Each structure stands twice: as structure tokens, then as C-alpha cells.
């Protein structure tokens, strides 16, 4: 068992101000695997003051030098990739091979991307008689979730450091061990003291203290819409910048000329990835009414391939839910779907066979779901797919856009031009067209209650920059 008893503040591992600790529990064994400090508002203040003290020097550091630190962190993550994957598979429950490919490699790519961008990005440009400058926004509080823990950390921290910001990171207490590895790598890189700080603790204690702190210039938050509203409320009181990456209820729209088998398979892969604990998962499958029965049969058969099992041995294709509360929440939605009259075509509320321990849920598929049903409107954050029949293309677009969310979507058609025309009418931040792949250089973020702001690529870098202009006199 790991015992983490220090916070990383001002370039040093320091004792927290109080003795409280939090347990980290394996979702597959239900055993405590680590303890971490339960930091306080006093610790948050110490970290913010360290970041504030370091800001002027770091923001004035040439971008090429900032890029070199990011390259060192990139190399440090590569060297510890296997350890990171195992820790996250243990903390979160994603099968190990998949955790290696996604949970460990994505942060490596992010730091590599921002090392390159920091070196190449034009932080100044001449516009008429003005010198337009892009400068670091200041001290950033990064508050991150548990589902893709280090990926979400890297998307914020790497971009903020590239921009010249200093950072206080508050990772999820559910899956924090990977953040300690990153802090160790950053310390070994020689990054100046105070530029990066790590504190662990509960959101209502540490997260709120950071969001409300007068010396925090920006809060970058990823998590639930409910928590995001609270962060926005606290940050808005001080008129500070708040970036939010929140929930989703993403639609996969299958048009009448699409290859239904390909579309269903890809939608299941998205919906069940990370046990459904993915904000941009395709959790609604919209199909022509005449093809609903065929789609339901394909989905029910496909769901059988997602066998639950121990993530560390890759015994199954899908792991447990991250906490017992999350498991119970998902099961309650499955019950709700049945109560509201949706057709259960695969899975259900019963635990998977042969798994006496662990917070597992059967991969579940509902058919004949009406657009206004609870399971078609609310984010479940578990392996639950809702198949919704529609009558016309316009009907499909209306249903796809008919939730409070707008994070992601997909469109499938035998006609690429038609698919793109429909995709452009969907109110979502990212739309996959006929299976288009995720692109780390493209902007990630959503419409409506899915949040505001963008991460990844140069767009993520610009979230941490302020624009200002110097009006120059013409040279005689």
C-alpha cells in the first residue's frame, strides 16, 4: 500500500497543515491501496502564494526555455509509462492494456505537443500600428477528475506551463496517485520552485478554496455539470476566468444509407469505453425507425463481447465502476429505464456472474427509448446505451440536439457529403464523421451545459493567454 503524506508546494515536498488523510480504494478489489493528505484551505493558500511568487519570473522566461522543461517532463513520463498505466488501472479500473494505450500515452503526447507549441507559437504579432501580445493569464488552479486522471491533468498543466502560467493542481481524491508521479517527474526536471504545485483533498474544502482565492487568476475545471456550476459561481464572484469541461449525452446518428453494423460496433466501443465513464461517450444511438429491430439485435450481440473482469490481468474487456456510489448510481438509472418503459435488450441491474468483489455493472442496452426518457436525457456515466428510433433526418437532428448537453456526437452515412451536412447541424463541440478518429491537436470542449472553453492543440494553449495591444506611433 502506498502512503503519500506530503504535498508538493514551492518546489518541495512539505507536510500538510493538518493530519487528516483520505483513502484510495481499488474498484476491482474494494481494498484500500493508498492514503493521501486531506489538505485544508490553509494548504491551498500556501500553494497559491508559492505560485504567485513564481509567476513573474516564469512568465518572463523565454518560450523556448519553457519548451525545454516540457520536453524533460515528456521524457520523464515516457520513462514511467508502465508504472503510470498500472497505477491508473488500479485506481480507475480500466483494463491494463487499454490504460497503457490511453491513460498513460495521452499525457505523454500532450506534454510533447505543448513543448512543440511553446517553441513555435507566435506570442506577438504586428496588426496595423499595434503590437498584439499574448501573455500568460497568471496563477491557474487546475481541478481535475478521476476518469482520465493524468490525461486531464496534462491537458491543463502542459498548456498552462507552455503559456507561462504557474499552476496549483488539485486532482481527484478518487484517483490521485498518478498526480504524485507527475510531481516527482516535474521535480526531477528542475522546473523552478513554485511553478507547479500539488495539493490533494476534497472538492468542497480545497477545490472551493482555490476557486475563490483572490490570487488565483483562472480556474480550469473538469468534472460534473453540478460541480462546474459551483466553480463558476465562486470564480465569477471575483470576475476571474473560468474554463469548464463538463458532462455530455452524446448522440450517434445513423442515417438511412449508413452501414448499420459498422455504426453500431463503433458506438458500442465509445459507449462502453472506460466502463462508460467518459464524458464524450456516444450513449444515444439514433436509428431509422424501420431499422430499430436490426440495430437492437446487433447491439445486444455486440454487448456480449464486453465481458467484465479484473483490469490488472486483462481478464475482461471492461472493468468496474470507480466507486460503489458510482455503481449504485448507474444501477439506479438502469432501473429507471425499465420503469419508464424502455426495452431492455442486454444487461440489467444484476451484478455480472463470477465477480464476487468489485463494483462491476453489466454492459446494458435499451431499445425503443423515447427522447424524453430519463436515460435519454441525463448523463449516466456508466456502460448504458439508449437506442432511439427516429422518422426523418430532421427528426434525428432535433433529437440529437434535444438535451442540455453539447459535448460530442457522431454521424454515419454512405454519402460523406451528407454526413458532413448533418454533422454541421449538430450543436456539439466535436462530431465524428463516419468514424473519424480523435485528434489531440483539435479543440476539445462543448456547447450548452457541457461547458465553456477549449482544451488541446493551440486552442488549449490560448485558453491560458490574455491578449493585449501596444498602440505604436508610426516610424517617421
Q: What is the pLDDT of residue 474?
A: 82
Given a cut of 80, is residue 185 above it in pLDDT?
yes
The yes-or-no answer on residue 125 being catalytic is no
Beta-bridge mates of residue 131 = 126, 470
Q: Which of the four pLDDT bands, split at 50, 70 and 90, describes residue 475?
A: confident
Given a cut of 80, is residue 293 above it in pLDDT?
yes
Q: What is the pLDDT of residue 356?
A: 84
The yes-or-no answer on residue 245 being catalytic is yes
Q: Quick: pLDDT tens for 333-342.
A: 999 999 999 9
Q: What angle do CA 452, 424, 225 make, to 5 degrees?
A: 25
CATH code matching the domain that covers 2-246+450-470, chosen among 3.40.605.10, 3.10.580.10, 3.40.630.30, 3.40.50.620? 3.40.605.10
Given a cut of 70, is residue 172 above it in pLDDT?
yes
CB contact burial 280-308 (16+ within 10 A = b; e otherwise): bbbbbbbbbeeebeebbebbbebbeebeb
Q: What is the pLDDT of residue 419?
A: 98
Q: Quick: pLDDT tens for 37-94.
A: 999 999 999 999 999 999 999 999 999 999 999 999 999 999 999 999 999 999 999 9
Inter-residue contact 35 to 22 (CB < 8 Å): yes
Q: Which of the four pLDDT bands, split at 50, 70 and 90, describes residue 309?
A: very high
Q: Quick: pLDDT tens for 363-417.
A: 999 999 999 999 999 999 999 999 999 999 999 999 999 999 999 999 999 999 9
Q: Quick: pLDDT tens for 106-154.
A: 999 999 999 999 999 999 999 999 999 999 999 999 999 999 999 999 9
What distance lies between CA 234 and its chain's CA centroid?
21
- Give residue limits of the domains in the chain: 2-246+450-470, 250-439
Beta-bridge mates of residue 81 = none
Q: Which of the four pLDDT bands, split at 50, 70 and 90, describes residue 314?
A: confident
Q: Measure the CA dihedral 218/87/332/357, to 10°.
A: -160
Q: Measure the CA dihedral 399/405/408/413, to 10°.
A: 10
Among the listed residues 245, 379, 455, 463, the single catalytic one is 245
User: How many angstroms separate the CA atoms of 67 and 64, rounded?
Assistant: 5
User: How many angstroms separate the CA atoms of 327 and 324, rounded?
Assistant: 5
Strands of the sheet containing 343-346, edge to edge, are: 343-346, 364-367, 384-390, 282-288, 250-254, 408-412, 430-433
User: How many angstroms separate the CA atoms of 115 and 125, rounded?
Assistant: 21
| Three-state secondary structure of the chain | CEECCCEEECCEEECCCCCCEEEEECCCCCCEEEEEECCCHHHHHHHHHHHHHHHHHHHHCCHHHHHHHHHHHHHHHHHCHHHHHHHHHHHHCCCHHHHHHHHHHHHHHHHHHHHHHHHHCCCEEEECCEEEEEEECCEEEEECCCCCHHHHHHHHHHHHHHHCCEEEEECCCCCCHHHHHHHHHHHHHCCCCCCEEECCCCHHHHHHHHHHCCCCCEEEEECCHHHHHHHHHHHHHCCCEEEEECCCCEEEEECCCCCHHHHHHHHHHHHHHHHHCCCCCEEEEEEEHHHHHHHHHHHHHHHCCCCECCCCCCCCCECCCCCHHHHHHHHHHHHHHHHCCCEEEECCCCCCCCCCCCCCCCCEEEECCCCCCHHHHCCCCCCEEEEEEECCHHHHHHHHCCCCEECEEEEECCCHHHHHHHHCCCCCCEEEECCCCCCCCCCECCEECCEECCECHHHHHHCCEEEEEEECCCCC
CA distances from 164 to 12, 54, 123, 124, 363 (A): 20, 10, 11, 14, 44
- Kindly report the average pLDDT of the chain as a whole number: 97
- Three cell numbers written together for 70: 516540457
CATH of domain 250-439: 3.40.309.10
Among the listed residues 91, 165, 173, 279, the single catalytic one is 279
What distance lies between CA 313 and its chain's CA centroid?
25
Q: What is the pLDDT of residue 476?
A: 67
Rg (CA), the chain: 23
Inter-residue contact 420 to 442 (CB < 8 Å): no
Q: Quick: pLDDT tens for 224-266.
A: 999 999 999 999 999 999 999 999 999 999 999 999 999 999 9
Amino acid at each position: 500500500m502506498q502512503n503519500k503524506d506530503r504535498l508538493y508546494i514551492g518546489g518541495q515536498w512539505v507536510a500538510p497543515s493538518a493530519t487528516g488523510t483520505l483513502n484510495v480504494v481499488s474498484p476491482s478489489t474494494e481494498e484500500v491501496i493508498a492514503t493521501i493528505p486531506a489538505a485544508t484551505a490553509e494548504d491551498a493558500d500556501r500553494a497559491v502564494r508559492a505560485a504567485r511568487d513564481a509567476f513573474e519570473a516564469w512568465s518572463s522566461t523565454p518560450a523556448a526555455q519553457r519548451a525545454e522543461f516540457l520536453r524533460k517532463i515528456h521524457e520523464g513520463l515516457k520513462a514511467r509509462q508502465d508504472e503510470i498505466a498500472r497505477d491508473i488501472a488500479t485506481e480507475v479500473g480500466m483494463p491494463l492494456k487499454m490504460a497503457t494505450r490511453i491513460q498513460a500515452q495521452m499525457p505523454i503526447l500532450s506534454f510533447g505537443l505543448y513543448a512543440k507549441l511553446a517553441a513555435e507559437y507566435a506570442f506577438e504579432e504586428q496588426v496595423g500600428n499595434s503590437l498584439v501580445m499574448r501573455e500568460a493569464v497568471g496563477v491557474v488552479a487546475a481541478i481535475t477528475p478521476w476518469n482520465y486522471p493524468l490525461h486531464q491533468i496534462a491537458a491543463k498543466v502542459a498548456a498552462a506551463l507552455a503559456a507561462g502560467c504557474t499552476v496549483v493542481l488539485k486532482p481527484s481524491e478518487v484517483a490521485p496517485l498518478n498526480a504524485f508521479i507527475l510531481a516527482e517527474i516535474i521535480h526531477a526536471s528542475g522546473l523552478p520552485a513554485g511553478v507547479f504545485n500539488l495539493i490533494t483533498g476534497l472538492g468542497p474544502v480545497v477545490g472551493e478554496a482555490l476557486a475563490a482565492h483572490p490570487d488565483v487568476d483562472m480556474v480550469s475545471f473538469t468534472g460534473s455539470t453540478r460541480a462546474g456550476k459551483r466553480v463558476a459561481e465562486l470564480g465569477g464572484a471575483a470576475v476571474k476566468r473560468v474554463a469548464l469541461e463538463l458532462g455530455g449525452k452524446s448522440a450517434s446518428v445513423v442515417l438511412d444509407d449508413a452501414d448499420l453494423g459498422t455504426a453500431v460496433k463503433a458506438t458500442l466501443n465509445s459507449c462502453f469505453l472506460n466502463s462508460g465513464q467518459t464524458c464524450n461517450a456516444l450513449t444515444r444511438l439514433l436509428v431509422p425507425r424501420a431499422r430499430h429491430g436490426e440495430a437492437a439485435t446487433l447491439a445486444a450481440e455486440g454487448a456480449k463481447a464486453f465481458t467484465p473482469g479484473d483490469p490488472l490481468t486483462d481478464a475482461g474487456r471492461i472493468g468496474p465502476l470507480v466507486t460503489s456510489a458510482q455503481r449504485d448510481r448507474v444501477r439506479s438509472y438502469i432501473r429507471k429505464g425499465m420503469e419508464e418503459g424502455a426495452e431492455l435488450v442486454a444487461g440489467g441491474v444484476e451484478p455480472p456472474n463470477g465477480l464476487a468483489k468489485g463494483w462491476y455493472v453489466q454492459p446494458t442496452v435499451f431499445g425503443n427509448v423515447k427522447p424524453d426518457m430519463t436515460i435519454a436525457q441525463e448523463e449516466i456515466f456508466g456502460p448504458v446505451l439508449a437506442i432511439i428510433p427516429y422518422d426523418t433526418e430532421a427528426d434525428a437532428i432535433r433529437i440529437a440536439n434535444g438535451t442540455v448537453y453539447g459535448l460530442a456526437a457522431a454521424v454515419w452515412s454512405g454519402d460523406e457529403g451528407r454526413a458532413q451536412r448533418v454533422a454541421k447541424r449538430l450543436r456539439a463541440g466535436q462530431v465524428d464523421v463516419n468514424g473519424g478518429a480523435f485528434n489531440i491537436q483539435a479543440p476539445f470542449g462543448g456547447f450548452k451545459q457541457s461547458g465553456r472553453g477549449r482544451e488541446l492543440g493551440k486552442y488549449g494553449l490560448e485558453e491560458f493567454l490574455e491578449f493585449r495591444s501596444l498602440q505604436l506611433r508610426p516610424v517617421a
